[in-house]
Amino acid sequence: MKTILAIHTGGTISMSQNEKGEVVPNDENPIAEQQVILQGQIKLITDELFNLPSPHVTPAVMLKIKQRIMKAIDDGIDGVVITHGTDTLEETAYFLDLTLPNTIPVVLTGAMRSSNEIGSDGLYNFRNAIMVAATDESYGKGVLVVMNDEIHTARYVTKTHTTNVATFRTPTFGPIGIVTQNKAKYFQELIRTEVADINHVVSGVFLIKAYAGMDGELFDAIDKPETKGLVIEGLGAGNLPPQTLPAVKRLIDNKIPIVLVSRCYNGVAQDIYDYEGGGIQLKKMGTILCQGLNGQKARIKLLVGISDGLKGKRLAEFVSNAIS
Ligand SMILES: NC(=O)C[C@H](N)C(=O)O
């Protein structure tokens, strides 16, 4: 029988609706009490590590989750499930994907409806996540996200709807598998290349979204010694309005690594256009084009790379290599 560790961190899956219809955190975690599911098939151990709405989750919290999982790996646990708020679930999932050894299945899940709402999806997702974590085929696939009968890779999954239970999607590539008839079925492989075994996290890594008519004001606002890195969600295939360029150039001259992704939902950032502010020119200026990650994931990757002590060319290689 496999032993699975469930680490609870909070979020709607651990919340309930009060008499006024407001969704609020609980002192007693309703999901942690569900010890009975999959009884007889799996030995479930639980740890209520945090009880945080996920907008309260920081990279320091992510690091604590990583350290708890490392201890579980040392203790010989067969798989780990993490319950988490959905707002920042994709960031914690990708942080863990980048920082954990790919030895046992690690699966994140959450809920869009709290524990006492009609059609609550928490217990169902939790049960599926435990089952996926205990499946032999889940080994070697990196950190996974299981929600609404789908299995996604931490690297690409993103929250796409504010309230719908089908909110988690993998743009461009699609999910890696599905859960059907209580079984995990995989139909895509993930080749995983990067692990940065960090034990501290830096601050001062920012994310800015580009827009029509943007100028340099926001870039100038972060041009200070504490700034360690910046991700820009560029336009289309990875372009910027020309008025931003002097400020972007100043940041590059001040040795601040700048990563460029696309603000588009699908596709990748590329050096295609050679006009003022086009991707070709931005690459020549020294921005790092990161293919396949959204802004929030690229920020996590940049933060992890900098926390790992990477600089210059090595940092650029680590951050840009996302499709493999
Ligand atoms: N569905 C959820 O979990 C959303 C909630 N605001 C959270 O991220 O904690």
Residues 243 and 170 in one domain: no
Residues 269 and 296 in one domain: yes
**Atom in ligand 1 nearest the alpha carbon of residue 84:** 3
- The Cα 258–Cα 96 span in angstroms is 23
Residues 209 and 170 in one domain: no
User: Of the candidates 137, 153, 186, which is a domain's last residue?
Assistant: 186
Residue 233 lies in a domain: yes
Residue 193 lies in a domain: no
Mean pLDDT across the stretch 129-139? 95
87 lines ligand 1 (CB under 6 A): yes
Mean pLDDT across the stretch 278-290? 96
Would you place residue 172 in the very low, low, confident or very high pLDDT band (cuts 50, 70, 90)? confident
Residue 192 lies in a domain: no
Q: Which of 54, 56, 84, 112 to mutate to test the pocket of ligand 1 (most atoms within 8 A of CB)?
A: 54
Which segment of 75-79, 291-295, 301-305 scores lowest on mean pLDDT?
Answer: 291-295
Q: What is the CATH number of the domain that holds 211?
A: 3.40.50.40
182 burial class (0-12, 13-18, 19+ CB within 10 angstroms)?
A: exposed
Residue 50 lies in a domain: yes
For 64, the domain range is 2-186
Residues 216 and 138 in one domain: no
User: Of the candidates 155, 186, 217, which is a domain's last residue?
Assistant: 186
53 lines ligand 1 (CB under 6 A): yes
Average pLDDT score over the chain: 94
Q: Tally the residues of the chain.
A: 324
Residues 23 and 134 in one domain: yes
Give, in degrees to the nearest 5, the angle at Cα 281 between 279 and 283: 70
Q: What is the CATH number of the domain that holds 116?
A: 3.40.50.1170
Residues 11 and 61 in one domain: yes
223 lines ligand 1 (CB under 6 A): no
Q: 294's torsion region: left (phi>0), alpha (psi -120 to 50) or beta?
A: beta
Is the confidence at residue 292, as pLDDT, over 90? no
Residue 275 lies in a domain: yes
Catalytic residue (choose from 83, 86, 109, 153): 86
Residues 7 and 106 in one domain: yes
Which stretches of 15-121 are DSSP H helices?
A: 59-74, 89-99
52 lines ligand 1 (CB under 6 A): no
158 lines ligand 1 (CB under 6 A): no
Residues 52 and 158 in one domain: yes
Q: Is 9 a catalytic residue?
A: no
**Atom in ligand 1 nearest the alpha carbon of residue 112:** 1
pLDDT tens, 259-274?
999 999 998 888 999 9
Residues 75 and 165 in one domain: yes
Domain count, the chain: 2
Residues 246 and 314 in one domain: yes
Residue 174 lies in a domain: yes
Distance (angstroms) between ligand 1 centre and the Cα of 24 equals 10
Residues 211 and 173 in one domain: no
The amino acid sitting at 32 is: A
Residue 43 lies in a domain: yes
pLDDT tens, 49-63?
999 999 999 999 999
Give me the pLDDT at residue 291, please. Answer: 85
Give me the pLDDT at residue 54, please. Answer: 98
Structure ipTM? 0.97
pTM, full prediction: 0.96
Residues 302 and 182 in one domain: no
Contact 229, 303 (CB under 8 A): yes
Residue 244 lies in a domain: yes
Torsion, Cα of 168, 82, 98, 142 (10° steps): -70
What are the strands, taking DSSP E only, across the chain?
A: 2-8, 15-17, 23-25, 42-48, 79-83, 106-109, 144-147, 150-153, 158-159, 168-169, 177-180, 183-186, 205-209, 229-234, 258-262, 288-289
